[in-house]
Chains A and B, each alone.
Chain A
Amino acid sequence: MSYLLLSARRTVIPAIFLILCCVAVVLFGEGYHVRVAYMFFVNLVIVAGLQVFMGNSNVANLGHMSFAGIAAYAVAVLYTPTALKATLIPNAPFGLATIQLDFVTASVIALALTAVIGWLSGLALCRLSGVAATIGTLALLVIVHVVFVNWIDITRGPRAFFGIPVALGLPWAVGAAVLAIFVARWFRDSSDGLQLRASGDNLLAARSMGVNIQRVRLKAWVLSATIVGMGGVLFALFMGTIAPNSFYFTQTFLTIAMLILGGMRSVSGAITGTFIVAVGFEFVRTLENGPEILGVQLPTMFGLTGFFLGAIIVIFLALRPDGLLGTDEFEDHWAAFRQRLRARK
């Protein structure tokens, strides 16, 4: 219980920051800004979820977006009105075309489904380490994508699934982001999290100390899948349209670049990285469309955003593989700062 309180206290700094961001956007932003801010919170949820497994276990994970996809499609199928579903997916199995739930029930069922699929995939994946584990997660991403594209009766295949009613707004996204950060912090501080971090530092040493590596990895994997799934639900219930490519390599690398830049070993790193990459990404996207700056018309350069992501991944892994924050959390820096002040007196 004390851990719960401690983690809650440690979530306060980022939570205040996020809420301020949200208030600023609501007060001063236009529709476009709201959209950008919402996507920032969605990505933050996904990156926090990614951090739970990848950051603590030190196993690179490329399959996380498949869970966002599963949750998003599940909530889309359950929440879209039956009248619309009769034309979108008339042949859906299990009578799914004829039922409609409210968005809370739909989200809960979607997350439960994601957790179950996460648990099943985790049974196999948590037995792997190093490169083999990463390849395994990649295989998961490809398999889930192929299913999305080909199970036309329920996902509409490569054509987008549209017409999902918009149910959520910015406050929900902030709430979800704060919850995701809190859960990620709580897991990192917990005994399981500590054991998993030890196994990430040195697998054999941790095992010889009695850490049951498969068990803690599986826990982190299911938790990570559920949090990432929450990101998928947020995405579907705001955008209203989802397609298999929303949950494939582009989004995978965007979120991985965010985590690597900030430093995957800490939750604060995940938050910092998401913020910096999101701001940089918007800036580069403006450049990409060829804006006019000081009377000079710049050419449009498609591919600049992808170039930016690739450059972040390559440069940071080469020069600062631990990211900006390394293993530090915000309060570590805060404590060090206070100590320096005290020393000066």
Chain B
Amino acid sequence: MDYFLQQSLNALSVGGEYALLALGLAIVFSVIRLVNFAHGELIALGGYAMYLSVLFAAPPVYALIPICIFVAMLSAVCFERVAFRPVRNAPPTTGLLTAFGVSILVQNILVIFVATRPKPVPTPDWMGGTMSIGDLDVPVVQVLETIVTVVAITGLLLLLRKTQIGLAMRAAAKDFVTVRMMGVRANRVIMTAFAVSGLLAGIAAVFIISRRGAVDPFMGFIPVLKAFVACVLGGFGSLAGALVGGLVLGCAEVFLQVVLPSQVAGFRDAFVFLMVGLILVMKPEGLVGKKVELGDKDE
């Protein structure tokens, strides 16, 4: 029973991490139909901001967390301004290729100016410890990650439901042209979408780095690939879908890790991506999405 509870918490925290990243991808996609593959580089840039500030300024360790989140947000907004704005009106595949270009560019800038090898980054000591809930010893990171994910998603919902810019973003996901005709500034809506995605990536970055204890230029690639899978599972561009997709993927991975025999464990990612292909072909609206025909009115 204890083992089961422990693995469930593990699945929840991994799923929460994927959900944070997938939400960031989904919120950008819903507004401007851009598949932002450079999302992973936000994690790396946040991590390197932590590393560089330790190197040059040695701030107290807890101050590193807001630095990481702030830099991730700032980078997201910069990406939008510099790279994605010129291709905003191009077909979506152009944006996708641009995002890949940005991703390679940032990775190699980090290789050139810092190093290829991993660099250590400190995180607060208490994050690495374990705590007892009842008679269960669990890592603090996992509990914290689950709680923070819930808080972040609640915050996101409040932003989308209760503020004017949130309303504009939800409307833009349905029909950007009409939103602009209502006098809402397109740039501001898109900027906010990127800032929110950067914020979520920054939060995820703190947890990823506290687990690894080091940063390297290519660290963002695997998490973003997973987030990407989560988005496809949930139906691309749907926020609820990204959340569900992230949790399902987290649970599935932990489950497969426990169940699969070691000879086929290496093929796990092949199964995951085969599933992605099948969903794209058979059920492109995702696990939770509703099939929309041309001309359907949505409520």
Q: Is B273 an interface residue (CB 8 A)?
A: yes
B103 contacts A by Cβ under 8 Å: yes
A130 cross-chain contacts in B, Cβ below 8 A: 91-93
CB pair B266 A149 closer than 8 Å: yes
The answer, yes or no, to whether B192 is at the interface (CB within 8 Å) is no
Mark out the residues of chain B between 249 and 282 whose CB falls within 8 Å of any chain A CB in the assembled complex. 266-267, 269-270, 273-274, 276-277, 280-281
Q: Kindly list chain A residues whose C-beta atoms are within 8 Å of the C-beta of B232.
A: 135
**Contact between B270 and A146 (Cβ–Cβ < 8 Å)?**
yes
Tell me if B100 and A140 are in contact (CB < 8 A). no
Cβ distance B88 to chain A, nearest Cβ, rounded Å: 10
Query: What 0/1 readout, one digit per residue, does chain A (134-147) give for beta carbons within 8 Å of chain B?
Result: 11100110110011
Partner of B87 from the list A305, A311, A321 (CB cut-off 8 Å) is: A321
When the two chains form their complex, are residues B266 and A253 in contact, meaning their CB atoms are under 8 A apart? no
Please name all residues of chain A whose beta carbon is closer than 8 Å to the beta carbon of B93 when the two chains form the complex: 58-60, 130-131, 134
Alpha-carbon distance A224/B91, docked complex (angstroms): 23
- A311: which of B86, B97, B105, B276 is its contact (CB, 8 Å)? B105
* Among B33, B97, B102, B116, residue most surrounded by chain A Cβ atoms (within 10 Å): B97
Q: Given A135-B276, A143-B273, A302-B116: A127 and B108 within 8 A (CB)? A: no
Shortest CB-to-CB span from B94 to chain A, Å, is: 5
> Which residues of A lie under 8 Å from residue B266 when comparing CB positions?
146, 149-150
Pairwise interchain contact B98-A146, C-beta atoms closer than 8 A? no
B108 contacts A131, C-beta separation under 8 Å:
no
Q: Which of A58, A150, A303, A306: most chain B Cβ within 10 A? A: A303
Measured CA separation A317–B38 after assembly (Å): 15
Which of A139, A307, A312, A318 has the largest count of B CB atoms less than 10 A from its CB? A139
Shortest A81–chain B CB gap in Å is: 29
Task: Give the complex CA separation of A302 and B113 in angstroms.
Answer: 9
Which chain B residue lies CB-closest to A150? Answer: B266
The 9 A-B residue pairs whose C-beta atoms are closest, nearest first, are: A303-B111, A313-B101, A310-B105, A310-B104, A306-B108, A318-B86, A150-B266, A60-B93, A303-B108
Q: Say yes or no: is A117 at the interface (Cβ < 8 Å to chain B).
A: no
A310 touching B35, Cβ below 8 Å? no
A307 B98 Cβ-Cβ under 8 A: no
In the bound complex, CA of A313 to CA of B266 (Å): 33
Nearest-CB residue, chain B, relative to A121: B277
Q: How many A residues have CB within 8 A of the partner chain? A: 40
User: For the complex, is B182 an interface residue (Cβ under 8 Å from A)?
Assistant: no
> Which of A136, A149, A310, A317 lies in contact with B94, CB distance below 8 A?
A317
Name the one of A59, A132, A310 contacting B102, with C-beta atoms under 8 angstroms. Answer: A310
- Say yes or no: is A173 at the interface (Cβ < 8 Å to chain B): no
Q: Count A-B pairs with CB separation below 8 Å.
A: 129
Instruction: For chain B, residues 226 to 252, give those with C-beta under 8 angstroms from any C-beta of chain A.
Output: 228, 232, 236
Q: Is the CB of B107 within 8 A of A135?
A: no
* B97 and A319 contact, CB distance less than 8 A: no
- Cα A307 to Cα B108 with chains together (Å): 5
Partner of A318, one of B87, B91, B225: B87
Please name all residues of chain A whose beta carbon is closer than 8 Å to the beta carbon of B269 when the two chains form the complex.
Answer: 142, 146
Q: Does chain B have a CB within 8 A of A70? A: no
Chain A, 7-64, CB within 8 A of any chain B CB: 58-60
- CA A319 to CA B96, docked complex, whole Å: 16
Q: Are the C-beta atoms of A60 and B96 separated by less than 8 Å? A: yes
Interface string of B105-120 (1 = CB under 8 A from A): 1111111100010000
With A60-B93, A134-B93, A143-B273 as contacts: A310 and B281 at CB distance below 8 Å? no
A301 at the interface (CB under 8 A from B): yes
Tell whether, in the assembled complex, residue A124 and residue B270 are in contact, meaning their CB atoms are under 8 Å apart.
Answer: no
Find A124's partner among B87, B102, B281 (CB 8 Å cutoff): B281
Q: Select the residue from A58, A134, A149, A317 with max chain B CB neighbours within 10 A.
A: A317
Task: Quote the shortest CB–CB distance from B87 to chain A (angstroms).
Answer: 6
B249 CB to closest chain A CB, in angstroms?
14
**Of listed A60, A149, A314, residue having the most chain B CB within 10 A:** A314
Q: CB-CB < 8 A to B104: which residues of A? A: 253, 306-307, 309-310, 313
12 additional contacts, CB 8 Å, given A307-B108, A317-B97?
A: A127-B281, A128-B280, A130-B91, A131-B93, A139-B274, A143-B274, A302-B112, A303-B111, A309-B104, A311-B101, A317-B86, A317-B90
A101 to chain B, nearest CB (A): 29
Give the docked Cα–Cα distance between A130 and B237 (Å): 14
Q: Which residues of A (284-318) have their CB < 8 Å from a CB of B?
A: 301-307, 309-314, 317-318
Are B87 and A307 in contact, with the CB atoms below 8 A? no
Most A CB atoms within 10 A — which of B93, B116, B236? B93
Kindly list chain A residues whose C-beta atoms are within 8 Å of the C-beta of B103. 310
Nearest Cβ distance between residue A14 and chain B, in whole angstroms?
25
Closest chain-A Cβ to B58's Cβ sits at a distance in Å of 27
B273 is contacted by which of A142, A319, A321 (Cβ under 8 Å)? A142
How distant is the Cα of A242 from the Cα of B147 in the complex, in angstroms?
47
Task: Answer yes or no: A260 CB below 8 A from chain B CBs.
Answer: yes
Q: Is A256 an interface residue (CB 8 A)?
A: yes
Q: Within A308-345, which residues are at the interface with B (CB < 8 Å)?
A: 309-314, 317-319, 321
Known: A302-B111, A303-B111. A317 touches B98 (CB 8 A): yes
A253→B270 CA distance, assembly (Å): 21
**A221 to nearest B CB, angstroms?**
14
- Residues of A contacting B94 with CB < 8 Å? 60, 317, 321
Closest to A126 in B: B281
